[in-house]
Amino acid sequence: MDKNEIYQEVTGLLVKLFELDAADIKPESRLYEDLELDSIDAVDMVVHLQKRIGRKIKPEMFKAVRTVQDVVDAVDQLVREG
């Protein structure tokens, strides 16, 4: 799974789970400010991503995540470590 596929996966999740408009989601979109997610939403997204990639995401990895691109980079790092 490359970064583009991960980005598509994250975007798809944001649209499906939180009924966001795909046109509003960009790599630089901030999860909390721009996309109006809250911490529960972020946990929901992490749970779905874990199922999708079959890897456990460490909570400390996601504490630094602020943008959609941060999510993509964190997931990419996990996939490469696998």
Angle at 56 between CA 55 and CA 58, to 5 degrees: 140
- Full set of structural domains in the chain with CATH: 3-81 (1.10.1200.10)
Q: Considering the entire predicted model, what is its pTM?
A: 0.90
Burial (CB count <10 Å: 0-12, 13-18, 19+), residue 49:
buried
Q: pLDDT tens, 28-56?
A: 999 999 999 998 998 899 889 989 889 88
The predicted pLDDT at position 37 comes to: 96
